[in-house]
Amino acid sequence: MSENPQQPTTNTEQPRRRGISRRQFLVGLGVGTGVLAVGAVVGGPIIVREGRLAVQQAVLNGDGAPSAAPPTNPLTWFEIDAENKAHLYIPKIEMGQGIHTSLAQIAADELEADWDTVIVHQGDVDRGFDPELIFTFGSTSITSLYAPMREVAATMRYMLREEAAAQFGVNVEDVVAENSECYLASDPETRKTYGEIVAAKSGEWALPEVEVALKTPEQFRYIGQPVKRVDLYAKITGRAVYGYDARLPGMAYGAVARPPRFGATLANAAAGDAESQPGVVAVVIEDGFAGIVAESRTQ
């Protein structure tokens, strides 16, 4: 158990008033799928209102004006499966700076997830990817997603408590969520894992009608604390996948002849017998440019 177990929230839940509106939450509504999925659209206008990314908006629009419309896909997307794994789809690109771990800490804290159950995925075009919000400069990853990720995770935690209460036959105020489990405050031995709650769910999930209380700093378990990096093992074992590893049917590879020093320009170039070499698709020579297209990087 954590040093600061979450207490039943009898008096802290209020009618819904939050930075993310109800319309911006998305819930996976599949019945009998054994998965609880919750996401939120947290695009430009929300971030501007929160005062998080004024610099980014100025860069995107050229004049600092807010984006014309928020994105329609969720930028933050979480899933709990029947195996009690917490899948976090994160829209920020991990380039060694540790943001996947940092954002996972934020989400796992509010979700009350066991750190060893957390699996971080790079958001794709279906879950969490928005080309306008992939920037990672100036600590924008944390400042832009800290509040939204906490709200989504806290909402998911409350939904799990509500469903656990229904399965236990008690009120939600009688249920505590902690370490990827829900248990009765009056009888801690009566408990279920998040995965068991999800697997036993019948019917559709629904968003809570109240504003879910966020943790206070004194209740944080992971935020501000050292944890195992979520990406380190894959990187040191060579299992990590990078953009460089992309493969598509019929994909070719291009290479450019680089100048030997800064400021140098191409005077002339000749294809020679390059086009006749195995695997070479084309040799491209234009004004000030020389390159080659081949079937593989080594060709």
Taking the domains of the chain in order of start, what are their residue ranges? 14-236, 247-294
Say how far apart CA 72 and CA 294 lie, in whole Å: 38
Q: Is the pLDDT of residue 36 over 80?
A: no
Reference 50, options 140, 126, 122; nearest CA is: 140
pLDDT tens column, 112-149: 999 999 999 887 655 555 555 667 777 878 888 888 88
Neighbours of 60 (CB within 10 A): 18
Out of 61-75, 137-151, 178-192, 261-275, pick the least confident. 61-75
Q: Is the pLDDT of residue 12 over 70?
A: no
Render the burial of 239-278: b for 16+ CB within 10 Å, e for the rest.
eeeeeeeeeeeeeeeeeeeeeeeeeeeeeeeeeeeeeeee
Strand partners, 79: 37, 87
Q: How would you classify the pairing of strands 86-90 and 118-122?
A: parallel
CB 76 within 8 A of CB 91: yes
Measured in whole angstroms, the distance separating CA 62 from the mean position of its chain's CA atoms is 27
pTM for the whole structure:
0.69
For 34, what's the count of Cα atoms within 13 Å in the CB-facing half-sphere? 8
pLDDT at 241: 82
pLDDT tens column, 223-252: 999 999 999 999 899 988 887 888 899 999
More confident residue, 18 or 138: 138
Neighbours of 77 (CB within 10 A): 25
Q: How would you classify the pairing of strands 35-40 and 76-81?
A: antiparallel
Q: Is the pLDDT of residue 91 over 50?
A: yes
Out of 3.40.640.10, 3.40.50.2300, 3.40.50.2000, 3.30.365.10, the CATH code matching 14-236 is 3.30.365.10
